[in-house]
Structure 1
């Protein structure tokens, strides 16, 4: 629920900025409902508002979300069914739900993944509607401090992950990569390159049975 509260405010902020940049309220709401991705939406909006082309905005948004390739690979063994079903279930992955559902042993709790994404999506869509149709009241998001929520959101996710020793090493390495590249690479690239630190996770324990399978067998239910 705390992540849902943050999602509501972030989506509200996006809609206000989008309408100010020339989106209609309906366009702002539909964008949030279909994309459901804060970093990609804000990146694309920044490019479009600055006079950039739609292809450039979409390319930048896709680049921002390239991190989901690694997240999807890690999650895949914990999903059930064929490829189509796993692809559909994978749509529930957002940064916070992925981190919260991570058991720390290479497996993920599917129920927790879906259960943490649902309230965030409801809050995200609600925030988008409120922001789109209340832009006149909330026109200055920086004055309200809403611009600080995005980095705070990711810091909160990071703090939850740092309970694991391996995660602390990955976080430190990722930070080092990002800091080293900031003076050299275009904006956004250092953060994406820092994701290479996650390759240390390849040495983690092999995934166990899909959630609940082992417990059911132990109880004699399966």
Structure 2
């Protein structure tokens, strides 16, 4: 890909993506530090960061195994948490499987799927034109591909020197970013109604299901409010 592929994006969007990738790297430092602090060799969180590239499921896997759980049960829990990638894939299909992707080949499309995460999807779907959506999705996804494993490497090397991300407030970074990016869509009554219904369902599920799964219940908000013709 040529450098000009990011040209449709404005400076504000590029700056926002850079800040998100930086925040991801900082959280990766905390994750790598936690993993080695509880006894994992550095290659374990590094391998997960490169092959899984999904922070929530990686944190969950390390936590379950460190607590004495089976690696297979931990992997299954991680897959369940990442079930949200199914609707993500439908939302960004055109950003990955485009005419340009067909020319680039299968490896290009596989990479496009691999970089799909909360942040790249939100940046992709929040843009106002297909060219901007595609550029934002790929720029954010590739940035996280670099920043997340690099953060894990730094954190794993430093060991227990990094504090819990909740202590320094990084656990609030991503929710704040997602709210800011999607706020404009809530001006539409139908979208707002579905979002509020999904939020209520997710909050109701919090005491009933493991961490990371309540967000899946928000999808029922789409089914409960169908557009009337």
Question: TM-score scaled to structure 1, two decimals?
Answer: 0.78
Aligned residue pairs: how many?
200
* 1:30 correspondence with 2:52: no
2:149 — aligned with what? 125
1:219 — aligned with what? none
Mark the runs of 5 or more structure 2 residues left unpaired by the alignment. 1-17
Greater fraction helix: 2
Cα pair 1:11 1:131 within 8 Å, conserved: yes
* Structure 1 residue 36 displacement after superposition: 1.2
SS of 2:116 mapped into structure 1: coil
The 1-side partners of 2:209 and 2:164 are apart by: 29
Residues 93, 59 of structure 1: alpha-carbon distance in 2 compared, 3 angstrom cutoff: same
The 2-side partners of 1:185 and 1:201 are apart by: 24
The 1-side partners of 2:224 and 2:112 are apart by: 26
Which stretch has the larger CA shift, 194-203 or 13-22?
Answer: 194-203
The 2-side partners of 1:75 and 1:199 are apart by: 20
* Structure 1 residue 47 displacement after superposition: 0.9
The 5 Å alignment of 1:97-112 reads: 97-103=120-126, 109-112=133-136
1:90 — aligned with what? 113
The 1-side partners of 2:45 and 2:26 are apart by: 14
Which stretch has the larger CA shift, 117-126 or 35-44?
Answer: 117-126
The 2-side partners of 1:105 and 1:199 are apart by: 25
Residues 48, 106 of structure 1: alpha-carbon distance in 2 compared, 3 angstrom cutoff: farther
Cα pair 2:193 2:225 within 8 Å, conserved: no
Question: TM-score scaled to structure 2, two decimals?
Answer: 0.76
* Structure 1 residue 181 displacement after superposition: 2.2
* Structure 1 residue 137 displacement after superposition: 2.6
SS of 1:66 mapped into structure 2: helix
The 2-side partners of 1:21 and 1:50 are apart by: 9
RMSD: 2.7
Mark the runs of 5 or more structure 1 residues left unpaired by the alignment. 204-222
SS of 1:163 mapped into structure 2: helix
